[in-house]
């Protein structure tokens, strides 16, 4: 019986650790700062759009296209594809919402 309780507790702890390890928008955005700026205020190298001016849904759509459409993007698309490749759809939604909520600039 004690082993069963130990296993149950271990499973609960592992599940909690997994939920805690899910990245938040600020953590994910750290990989974007070099090209897009601390507040998504810069036009990235080879780009033409300031991310902070976009609605969250447009950011999500673009990031997901970098993952699935090798023809999507400008001169630096290969760099974006590398950055987006490890992100899950949930990560993309999280970082897009973070950019919009924290840095949005109305056009």
DSSP 14-72: HHHHHHHHSPPHHHHHTTTHHHH-TTS-SPPTT----GGGS-HHHHHHHHHHHHH-TT-
Domain around 53: 23-103
Prediction pTM value? 0.77
Q: Is the residue at 56 inside a domain? A: yes
Number of domains in the chain: 1
- In this structure, what CATH number is given to the domain that contains residue 69? 1.10.760.10
Q: What is the pLDDT of residue 10?
A: 44
Q: Is the residue at 4 inside a domain? A: no
Q: What is the pLDDT of residue 34?
A: 97
Tell me the pLDDT of the chain averaged across its residues: 86
pLDDT digits (tens, 9 = 90+) for 20-66: 446 899 999 999 999 999 999 999 999 999 999 999 999 999 999 99
Q: Is the residue at 3 inside a domain? A: no
In the predicted model, is pLDDT for residue 1 greater than 90? no
């Amino acid at each position: 019986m004690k082993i069963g309780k130990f296993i149950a507790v271990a499973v609960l702890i592992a599940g909690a650790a997994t939920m805690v390890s899910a990245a938040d928008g600020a953590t994910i955005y750290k990989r974007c700062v070099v090209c897009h700026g601390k507040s998504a205020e810069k036009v990235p190298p080879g780009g033409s759009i300031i991310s902070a001016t976009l609605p969250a849904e447009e950011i999500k759509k673009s990031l997901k296209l970098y993952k699935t459409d090798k023809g999507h993007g400008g001169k630096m698309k290969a760099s974006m594809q590398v950055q987006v490749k490890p992100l899950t759809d949930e990560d993309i939604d999280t970082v897009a919402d973070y950019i919009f909520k924290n840095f949005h600039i109305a056009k």
